Amino acid sequence: MTNTAQKYFNCLIVEDEPLSQEVLESYIDNCPELKLCGTCKNAMQANAILHNENIDLIFLDINMPIINGIEWLKSLDQSPEVIFTTAYPEHAVEGFDLNALDYLLKPFSFNRFLKSVNKFLSTKKNEEANPIEASDTSKTIWVKSNKKSYPIKLSELAYIESDGDYLKLFVEEKPIIIHETLKHFILKLPNKVFMKIHRSFVINITKVQYIEGNQVCLASKLIPLAASYREEFYKAIEKNEQV
């Protein structure tokens, strides 16, 4: 995440059309709150930048070579905020299902662009005004499920299971199902307590009952511990013992 003392946010253009690239670059240049960190003509170029830069916002085209913008976004474990830019309105619904911040239909004016940017800035302002400390589980967050809103005490949230665009939140062994992606929901959680141990699971490490081989037991359920997350998981367990 961007340092709160920083006066600008890092953004990235992922767009294969030269004219659209130029328009976005010009618009961004007129927004002092945004710093352009790169312009990519395909998602694979953007992938490399995401691994080396702290990007806060992506202006993402959908129809691109190699892999389209929607499929690339689905492939990311975590992503910055995304504003889709495309000439095809039929992609709007799927874009919003991925929790995109906004959807700009080409050709779009600077005023319409600015409306999206202001929406992004408001989101960041709210995050800074209501920060979640890295180890703070005393907070309560609200989630929507089946037209109802539920308070979730982070101290009682054992683990989260992802199923496509839906999540199961296990609080006292009773799941609450919400329509949200894991990569966005995890940003609401204190990162020293909640961690990803598998592409489909985030756990509260203070709720671990025992570890057996490549599985972790929480709320009487064995959850797979993927090899790519194993080292980070054991480091987190060690740090938790010292607290």
% of the chain with per-residue pLDDT over 90: 39
Give the model confidence (pLDDT) of 126-163 as tens digits: 666 555 565 676 788 888 888 888 888 888 899 999 98
Select from 75, 94, 129 the last residue of a domain.
Answer: 129
Could you give the number of structural domains in the chain?
Answer: 2
What pLDDT shows up at residue 54?
84
Residue 2 in any domain: the answer is no
What pLDDT shows up at residue 126?
67
Residue 135 in any domain: the answer is no
Select from 76, 109, 129 the last residue of a domain.
Answer: 129
Give the model confidence (pLDDT) of 34-43 as tens digits: 999 999 999 9
Inform me whether the pLDDT recorded for 17 exceeds 70: yes
Confidence class for position 1, pLDDT limits 50, 70, 90: very low
Residues in the chain: 243
CATH number of the domain where residue 160 is located: 2.40.50.1020
Q: Are residues 32 and 104 in the same domain?
A: yes
Q: Are residues 154 and 229 in the same domain?
A: yes
Residue 3 in any domain: the answer is no
CATH number of the domain where residue 21 is located: 3.40.50.2300
Residue 202 in any domain: the answer is yes
Name the average pLDDT for the chain: 84
Q: Are residues 145 and 110 in the same domain?
A: no
**How many angstroms separate the CA atoms of 85 and 93, rounded?**
13
Give the model confidence (pLDDT) of 83-129 as tens digits: 999 887 766 555 555 667 888 999 999 999 999 999 999 877 766 65
Q: What does the longest C-alpha to C-alpha distance in the chain come to?
A: 57
Inform me whether the pLDDT recorded for 2 exceeds 50: no
Q: What is the domain extent for residue 34?
A: 9-129
